[in-house]
Structure 1
């Protein structure tokens, strides 16, 4: 993903070169005017030395910050500062040696400062008593050109990190949409397999409600094909889907299975992620009527309380029949979808007792 800002659009190579030329002319003028007041032909030597040192540091600090500091590695920056300090000391010593040989200063204060540098030779520069003065001079010298440079580099690096983070979030959203679509595709075949098996058994016994069941199934397939592609659907449509599904399930298991439904305020214009509830219904059937059709029961309620959806479903379990573990691919998928789509705006409680299973789901819409 490509992101551009206003700075990147107008800061062309030609503009950059022009700005750098003007910048270094101003720095040169500042260095020269600050030294000219003490006079002497040696001023030009010092100015050229200062430009050499600060220029080399100026164009290398960008690489140091981008390559190391932006990644949280401060050791290379510390080494760079140490190298820059030694680099400045070395060049300053050489320039003062040249000044003494070719244009010795007549000003007593300048001469004294020069001998402070060169007396004791190069290695005498590293005497501890000299460094407080050296460090102060070094900071005053490099602060003028390097301070704005470092600010610019840090701001640009932060902007790059912000763009990368934004692109990362966009990629995560795309992956999220793909994952939700994949999870939804796993639900549909699982549901259709159970429903088609129900209608097949009804047709084998010439059940008079077969045609009605086929119509219900066609409505459900239409819902799956054309409405669940939306990011969210009206709760009333999801409720109609659940009602059709349970009607077919009840026909399959016969009068021995009791189904109790209670829906309140489902006509409110709130929306929900499609097919987010059906896995709980399938699971209730799997643990209830499919294990034992004798005196089995399912209770389901769905209520809208302002912007809170409260969904409860429970089913009886035969104590004698072997009980499979609660869950399966459908429940795993729906938990994943709830995490992806609602995050912290939902709560799910699953309760398993000796003779019943129950699920309580609340979603902030």
Structure 2
């Protein structure tokens, strides 16, 4: 089977940029004479373009995300200057060790006029200025595109939030009435059933969190975990002995924040598909290392039951991750022989 080659918009823009750069180099060699421009291609442009691509992508793919984004500006500037100097020397090395020999056989006039020495300060300085300008241009384009994408994501998040709030108000009874009713129910069940009393308390805590905590873009990770614990406790009571549940979390949670209700869909899906043939199991592990959070959720399932990995809920979750944690998340959904696994890693 022959697969069609498809270019992503980002890759297409990169190719277009470098084609424009090559065209500019060819045009710049044109000689204006009698109102006519003659275009000349010099083989030395091959290594010139190659050197420019190497230094520009070293900055874009390594220096920018590792040092500039981490606000290590002094380190970034020092490394950038070293990169410019390296690029200038590399360009000079191509010219002296390769293209000078080429000129000897193909352009003897130019070979005789050229100086037979590697270190020519003016040429190295000229190379450095050209490379610096290209790095500055590509950096500006990258930061401008990132700024535009961030602003676009913020607007989309605001629209989705307003839409979700309107849908919630239309579909649900007055949440304050429901919350107050739960408190009244809790008072009535104090002397009747300890299990019912605990269930009502958990429901009340869930409602309180959804009403008063999730209106902001970020919540404390400890509060989000408390919410998950309440939800898991309710499901544990609901399924009784039919479902074996394990929830563990590790690491330094203090001061960490997260988008509210981001982790809940993984837990909900695990409970939804965890019961097979009347029983099952769910294991949830959450670990925080530095500024990285890793969530791994596993649940049993029967092979005869179709597990939908790419339903509407998953699509919405992926879109939410793209908006709130762009380039800072990893999501894996794996269907094993006897269990289903979901893995999420995000940079807090």
TM-score, normalised relative to structure 2: 0.48
TM-score, normalised relative to structure 1: 0.46
Choose 1 or 2 for highest CA Rg. 1
